[in-house]
Amino acid sequence: MAELFEVNLSFPYLTPGIFSFLNSIPRQMRIKGNLKELIRGRGKGKYLHKALYSKKLPEIITSRKKQGGFVPLSVFFKDEERNGKFFRMLRESDLLALLLKNRTKTISGLEAFLKQQNPWFWEQQFRLSQLLNLIVIAVWENIYIRRSIL
């Protein structure tokens, strides 16, 4: 998906050199406590990171538990012209016609949802995640089944 919008994504922790280096660090330096304590929320992950930055960052940052994150999908779906292209692609998808009970109703519902003003945040995340997943399926169909460049 990122390539379609000329966005370069990288995952530095997955590069072989960095992965090997990080994997060579003893677990005791990466995790404070044993694995069982970590799973139960009593251990501390990212111990080495926090130890290195503890003198430079406030304790409120280095001592807090990991917080879950989310992707701000509403930002991604702000461009109406691009959204129009997405919805055209969804309507033309043979694969979605097979997978969805009522493709027209599903797509129209998502399109109407995008036009709503100030929907509840978590409903917005849920609906936009649905939309993104349908777009991924349609893009996959175009690339791997139809063999067409978008």
Domain map (residue ranges) of the chain: 2-62, 73-145
Q: Which residues contact 53 (CB under 8 A, 6 or more apart)?
A: 62
Mean pLDDT value across residues 123-127: 89
In tens, the pLDDT along 81-110 reads: 999 999 999 999 999 999 999 999 999 999
Q: Are 125 and 70 in contact (CB under 8 A)?
A: yes
Q: What is the pTM of this model?
A: 0.59
What is the C-alpha to C-alpha distance for residues 48 and 89, in angstroms, rounded to an integer? 46
Distances (CA, A) of 91 to 79, 88, 102, 105, 124: 18, 5, 11, 11, 21
More confident residue, 10 or 147: 147
Mean pLDDT value across residues 29-33: 82
Q: Which of 70, 60, 72, 25 is nearest to 46 (CA)?
A: 25
Tell the residue number behind the tokens 């936009």, with chain if given: 128
